[in-house]
Structure 1
Amino acid sequence: MTLLSTTLLAFSMSTDAFAAAIGKGAAVDHPRFREALRTGLIFGVVEGLTPLIGWALGLGAARYIARWDHWIVFVLLFALGVRMIHAGLKTPEPDEEAPAAKPGRQAWWLIAATAVITSIDALTVGIGLAFMEANILLTSLAIGAATTLMATVGVMLGHRMGILIGQRAEVLGGVVLIAIGSLILTEHLGLW
């Protein structure tokens, strides 16, 4: 993978964490930078570790399906991209109850649970990276760093901008994943 595709992959993987962080920021009463950074680091560490786990799982299967690896990567990235676009276009349900008082910070376990849920796609990408000649450590570090940055910014923006921007970021991330999968497929087939 090139530096550009690694960077694009890292930021597209961080969009669901960004969307979730905006929601976290919207749920907290005026989050301070320290709280935003704490949330960003939790998301970043989890999102950076999950591609390594996926890579290890995929590495065991790579020798058995080497002839089809580019198609597998394409299908995985395409499916993730479509899922992210669908989630980003889904209209959130309006709350029926009156809003309660917002807390000053969220529990770390709640942030970690959200980070694990939003990192499932990074696990799948890690499986796909096992079929490519990608530097998994560099890619995982890039995903973790991009996610830390995006989640930190998301929390800070969350109480001002609400959920809407987060959903649109997830749509953009999905489009980027589909584009990366298509680029990998066309390069491997010799069309690019």
Structure 2
Amino acid sequence: MELSLPQWGQLFTLLMIAIALGMDAFSLGVGVGVRGVLMRQVFAMSGIIGFFHIMMPLLGILIGHVLSSLVENIAVMAGGGLLCFLGGHMVVHALKGENESILSATTPGGILLFSFSVSLDSLSAGLSLGLFEADALVAASMFGIIGGLMNAAGLLLGRHVGTWIGEYGEAVGGIILILLGLRFLL
């Protein structure tokens, strides 16, 4: 089955949106990775981010027809605030010299919290897609696959850079998360 020119255009547009959404997951990955992560944590976080990047747009599409502008702004601000909070916690935690925290991206709860916070912008994308005739399953699948892969790349890059930074890796990662969160808020 061949695709028509408008269908190719739609796929290209969805790919560009997926890459834009994945950049946040990439940045999060670098910020978390500089602290040092194990390969199983890379797979876990990337898989969960991919899952959230699939589910959030689908949820957004479902509610997009009714609450589009209101929920979009709330979701973006909540995600930004959460990332600033998590980044600030990482910086304070690193300066105190503590080993492990409940909000660490290496704990199961931390992985879920970080994954959820960076995937909130996918909810906004879903809200926007709900207004167009985009194929929801194709869009959500692209968002999930690209988001998961970009997060894995960021985690691996951050892990590599973290060996250069040494003991300040967590503080640098926290600053990256704060900057990412501020981008959402401003």
Normalised by the length of structure 1, the TM-score is 0.62
The answer on 1:55 being equivalent to 2:61 is yes
TM-fit CA distance, 1:100: 4.9
Match of 1:13 in 2: 21
Which consecutive unaligned segments of at least 5 residues does structure 2 have? 1-8, 162-171
Q: Distance between the aligned counterparts of 1:128 and 1:39, measured in 2?
A: 26
Q: 1:160-184 CA deviation, whole Å, 9 max, x = no partner?
A: 33659x78xx7xx99xxxxxxxxxx
What is the DSSP-based 3-state SS (H/G/I as helix, E as strand, rest coil) of the residue aligned with 1:27? coil
Over 6 Å off, 4+ runs? 92-96
| Cα-to-partner distance string for 1:10-29 (whole Å, 9 max, x where unaligned) | 1111111111111221122x
Matches within 5 A, 1:108-127: 108-127=108-127
Task: Identify, as 1 or 2, the structure richer in helix.
Answer: 2
Identity of aligned residues (%): 20
Q: How many residues align?
A: 151
Which deviates more, 108-117 or 133-142?
A: 108-117
Residue 23 of structure 1 aligns with which residue?
31
Quickly say closer, same or farther: Cα 1:10–1:3, change in 2 above 3 A: same
Compute the displacement of 1:34 (Å).
3.0
- 1:2 and 1:19 map into 2 onto residues whose CA distance is 26
TM-score under structure 2 length normalisation: 0.64
CA distance in 1, matches of 2:100, 2:63: 41
Structure 2 contact 22–151 (Cα < 8 Å) conserved: yes
**How large is the RMSD of aligned CA atoms in angstroms?**
3.8
Unaligned residue ranges in structure 1 (runs of 5+): 63-68, 175-192
Q: Secondary structure at the match of 1:157?
A: helix
Counterpart of 2:169 in structure 1 is none
1:125-180: CA deviation from partner (whole Å, max 9, x where unpaired): 1111111010111100100000110111111111233659x78xx7xx99xxxxxx
